[in-house]
């Protein structure tokens, strides 16, 4: 089996990949994540997932490299990571009572052959009606400023949801494991 590289510095993605009980290393790609003019969210996350994987191919020429990127979409607007309390508060106020789609781009690159499997997995969160006090309490408790959509689904953020829909809940955290297993199996990786 070729060695696995996770093209990410995200502790959330690392934790998810550990569930598969496969040995892997992490390396952080240095790419520009700015959306291209006219690029929609799905095109963006597919392109960035592949770009992250290909950015590491020269350093890891005989590896399977996993790239992933996520965008949240609310009323056709792409939401990025809030990075601070003010922007996180705005994102959650805007999501209150609405449905927000999370698109996670996934790429498995065989750096030896240059072949890439690329997909986008959608997961939708239907938010409860959130008042200012609830939003403030949540943000103070969990400080999800590095998370698209301003919440951590694997933590207290689930208390903000009315319901969810999608094929793979791990995609909401940033690495769709069900689809990744399909890709790994196509590369003949034995999954325990």
Which residues does 72 contact at the CB level (< 8 Å), separation at least 6? 78, 79, 91, 100, 101, 102, 103, 148, 149
The answer to whether the beta carbons of residues 184 and 108 sit under 8 Å apart is yes
Return left, alpha or beta for 185; rule: phi > 0 is left, psi -120 to 50 is alpha, else beta.
alpha
The answer to whether the beta carbons of residues 107 and 115 sit under 8 Å apart is no
Which residues does 101 contact at the CB level (< 8 Å), separation at least 6? 41, 72, 73, 74, 122, 123, 124
Which residue in the block uniquely carries the two structure tokens 């590896």?
Answer: 63
User: Token digits for 97?
Assistant: 């009572």
Report the alpha-carbon distance of residue 125 to residue 101 in Å, rounded: 6
User: Token digits for 92?
Assistant: 């959650």
Report the alpha-carbon distance of residue 117 to residue 52 in Å, rounded: 13
- 69, 94, 132, 146: the active-site residue: 69
Concerning whether 94 is annotated as a catalytic residue, the answer is no
Report the alpha-carbon distance of residue 181 to residue 187 in Å, rounded: 10
**Catalytic sites, residue numbers:** 69
């Amino acid at each position: 089996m070729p060695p696995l590289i996770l093209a990410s510095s995200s502790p959330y993605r690392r934790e998810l990949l550990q569930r598969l009980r496969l040995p892997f290393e992490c390396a952080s790609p240095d790419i520009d994540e700015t959306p291209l003019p006219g690029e929609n969210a799905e095109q963006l996350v597919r392109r960035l997932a592949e770009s992250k994987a290909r950015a590491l191919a020269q350093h890891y020429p005989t590896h399977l490299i996993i790239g992933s990127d996520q965008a949240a979409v609310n009323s056709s607007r792409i939401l990025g990571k809030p990075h601070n309390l003010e922007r996180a508060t705005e994102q959650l106020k805007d999501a209150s009572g609405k449905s927000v789609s999370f698109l996670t781009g996934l790429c498995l690159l065989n750096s030896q052959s240059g072949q890439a499997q690329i997909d986008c997995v959608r997961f939708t969160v239907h938010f409860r009606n959130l008042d200012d006090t609830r939003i403030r309490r949540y943000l103070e408790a969990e400080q999800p400023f590095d998370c698209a959509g301003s919440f951590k689904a694997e933590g207290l953020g689930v208390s903000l949801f009315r319901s969810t829909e999608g094929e793979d809940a791990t995609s909401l955290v940033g690495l769709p494991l069900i689809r990744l297993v399909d890709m790994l199996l196509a590369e003949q990786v034995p999954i325990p």
